[in-house]
């Protein structure tokens, strides 16, 4: 039973004797609560409706009964009656009950509805709340309800509607001169976190970077760790898109710690992303050496990633690819991880290739192909990129399918010329297309 429900069982004593009708209404209310607790839903609904009817003028017991009816109708999936009861309940907030009582009950229902999965019902619920709050002038409830509605639009990918609400919310966190209100730092971070998620989904890195830096510069807030987890996770993804693996790893670790502190399941996903970034930055440090991460090393979702790290650090390509194939759900079904699998494979193939050719001055491409378990054309592409990056000194003899190691100038000159030639061809192709358009 929630604290909110427990309050309904409290007793208030007064020097004045209660009216007999009030006693009957109170008894009916607690009988209805008893039916509700005993899962006798039909009887509870009937009794709570009786409380509203018996009270006549709007007052406390009718307000409480309508709140319970909202919950009961929701559980019974009678959404029309739920909204109808909620509208009646909101009709009490102007004069029938105190501001504190109304705020407490509406807050309670907002939290209750947060677990709803029917987005249309949620939308109507939030919009009904906002309409009632126009006259109530309750800034805290207005902000909280708008934030929940904004989250709903984010889940529905309605970014136009989301942006409009975010503008209103940001304005409410500013002073008259347009600067951020230091007293509303926590609320500001809530808005920033949602906006950052939107830009992450839209892959708008320019605005994401600006907002990410603004969020980290807010010092006047005591944010919920879940909010900082969101900011850091999106920051990590932003750094990954720029191939700043080390910065990404730092942010993912901070996100993991924040989610862990908040008890949010997303912490495991961020730990996976940390492992991914660590491998991409070619770090020899095991991410699970950190004290905070150790307890999760045997988590079923994490074991596949730890095995991947072992294969990566051991330059075992076949085992690495086997783990990817056999753990499709935990690794490959995450679209973010999947985007970087090719980068990972290139990294491990590069490590194996550099180690493989080290003792030789000539290496046959078919031999490298067999060792890396990739087609010969992919071996050539990898060799070209390594020669251009000056990680291999040499050139490719395509006629004899050989890598000649050691003649750095010849190899670099040849492939730089080829790259320049390819660039010129691309420019000519674009010019022709523009003329035809």
What does the pLDDT look like over 70-88, one tens digit per residue? 999 999 999 999 999 999 9
Express as a percent the part of the chain with pLDDT over 90.
Answer: 35
**What is the rounded radius of gyration, in angstroms, for the C-alpha atoms of the chain?**
31
**For residue 11, is pLDDT > 60?**
no
What does the pLDDT look like over 46-73, one tens digit per residue? 999 998 888 878 888 889 999 999 999 9
> Would you call 180 helix, strand, or coil by DSSP?
strand
Q: Which residue has the tokens 């010019």?
A: 431
Structure tokens at 432: 């022709």
Dist CA 432 CA 437 (whole Å)? 9
Q: Among 16-20, 212-216, 393-397, which range has the highest average pLDDT?
A: 212-216
Q: Which residue has the tokens 């839903």?
A: 41
Q: How many residues does the chain have?
A: 437
Structure tokens at 7: 């309050």
Average pLDDT value over all residues in the chain: 86
- Residue 243's pLDDT is 92
| Cα atoms in the 13 Å half-sphere on the side-chain side of 55 | 23
What does the pLDDT look like over 165-177, one tens digit per residue? 999 999 999 888 8
What does the pLDDT look like over 387-410, one tens digit per residue? 888 888 888 888 888 888 875 545
């Amino acid at each position: 039973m929630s604290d909110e429900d427990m309050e309904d069982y409290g007793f208030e004593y007064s020097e004045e004797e209660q009216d007999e009708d009030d006693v009957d209404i109170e008894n009916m209310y607690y009988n209805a609560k008893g039916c509700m607790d005993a899962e006798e839903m039909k009887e509870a609904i009937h009794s709570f409706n009786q409380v509203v009817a018996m009270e006549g003028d709007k007052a406390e017991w009718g307000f409480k009964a309508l709140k319970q009816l909202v919950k009961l109708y929701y559980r019974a999936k009678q959404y029309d009656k739920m909204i109808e009861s909620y509208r009646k309940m909101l009709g009490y907030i102007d004069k029938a009950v105190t501001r504190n009582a109304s705020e407490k009950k509406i807050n309670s229902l907002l939290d209750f509805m947060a677990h709803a999965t029917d987005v249309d019902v949620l939308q109507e619920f939030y919009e009904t709340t906002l309409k009632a709050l126009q006259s109530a002038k309750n800034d805290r409830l207005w902000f909280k309800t708008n934030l929940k509605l904004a989250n709903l639009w984010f889940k529905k990918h309605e970014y136009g509607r989301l942006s409009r609400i975010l503008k209103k919310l940001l304005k409410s966190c500013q002073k008259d001169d347009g600067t951020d209100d230091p007293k509303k730092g926590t609320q500001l971070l809530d808005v920033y976190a949602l906006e950052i998620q939107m830009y992450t989904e839209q892959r708008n890195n320019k605005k994401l970077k600006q907002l990410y830096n603004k969020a980290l510069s807010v010092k006047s807030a005591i944010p919920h760790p879940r909010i900082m987890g969101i900011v850091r996770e999106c920051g990590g993804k932003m750094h990954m898109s720029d191939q700043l693996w080390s910065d990404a790893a730092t942010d993912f670790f901070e996100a993991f710690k924040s989610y862990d502190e908040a008890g949010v399941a997303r912490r495991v996903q961020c730990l996976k992303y940390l492992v991914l970034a660590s491998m991409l930055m070619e770090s020899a440090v095991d991410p699970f050496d950190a004290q905070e991460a150790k307890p999760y090393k045997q988590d079923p979702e994490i074991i596949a990633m730890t095995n991947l790290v072992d294969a990566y650090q051991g330059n075992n390509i076949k085992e690495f690819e086997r783990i990817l194939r056999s753990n499709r759900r935990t690794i490959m079904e995450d679209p973010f991880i999947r985007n970087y699998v090719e980068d990972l494979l290139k990294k491990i193939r590069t490590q194996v290739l550099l180690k493989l050719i080290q003792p030789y001055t000539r290496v046959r491409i078919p031999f490298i192909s067999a060792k890396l378990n990739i087609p010969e054309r992919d071996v050539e592409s990898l060799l070209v990129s390594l020669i251009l990056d000056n990680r291999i000194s040499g050139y490719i003899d395509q006629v004899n399918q050989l890598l000649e190691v050691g003649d750095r100038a010849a190899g670099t000159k040849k492939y730089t010329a080829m790259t320049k030639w390819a660039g010129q061809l691309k420019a000519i192709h674009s010019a022709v297309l523009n003329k035809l358009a």
